Amino acid sequence: MRRDVVRTHLLLAAVLLVAACAPGDAPVVPPPNASPGDVRQTEVRSYDPWGAGLVTETIDRRGACEKPSRVVQRSDAWQCQVRDDHPASDGSLHEPCFAHPTEPRAACPEGVDERSFTVVTLAEPLPRRSPPVAEVAPWMVVLWTGDRCVRVADVPIEFPRREGRPLTMMCSPLNPRIPSPAGDRGWGGVDTSTTPWTLRVSDGTGPEKPAMVMVAYR
């Protein structure tokens, strides 16, 4: 794990240098030591935390999942609220949360660590829902910079747009102690016409730039 962190630091430092020198609308490029084969295509995955065995580092709470997720249009995706007597519980909402296929539990991913979840235990199994709506646009992407961007819901209409594009995603760096070279905001949809796919990103005040998408989750 320590070796991976050091390697990530070096890669992100290199990306920062390249991005600072890139002219105009040049994309936020992948790490310079990435192979050409890696860069040519975005990997598209179906997000399955229970089936993939990702739910290993958990905060366990009791609660309820009464509304479908607004972020992910799948029949197993929910909006859940913590409702227990734990001192750290504050009635917080978590979204999206993914129902366990056979048990009354739902896993809500937290942060950029793909194995960290809040697991909500329910009083009874989740109700049956209509067949899932096919996910066309990715709801979460991992950029070549290491940032993880997740779709946001209920963005106010009056929220400022960038070149006509609405805010669609919020991004977090792989390591919170290292500033992201890409920015924390994603604008418009993921552009699937490019190779690899790209998402236009920026920080609070800087210009947008297309960032290369390494993995897209549906």
Average pLDDT over residues 201-211: 85
132-161 confidence digits (pLDDT tens): 565 678 999 999 888 899 999 878 777 888
pTM for the full predicted model:
0.76
Determine the longest span between alpha carbons in the chain, in angstroms: 56
Measured CA to CA in angstroms, residue 121 lies from 66, 96, 104 at distances of: 13, 15, 6
- Read off the tokens for 115: 């194995």
Pairing of strands 93-99, 167-172: unpaired
- What confidence tens digit (pLDDT) does each residue in 167-200 have? 999 998 877 787 777 788 999 999 999 999 999 9
* Look-up of token digits 């997720």: 69
| CA–CA gap between residue 16 and residue 32 (Å, rounded) | 11
Q: Is 141 exposed, middle or buried (0-12, 13-18, 19+ CB in 10 A)?
A: buried
CA nearest to 76, candidates 105, 97, 62? 97
Please report which confidence band the pLDDT of residue 26 belongs to, taking 50, 70 and 90 as the band edges: low
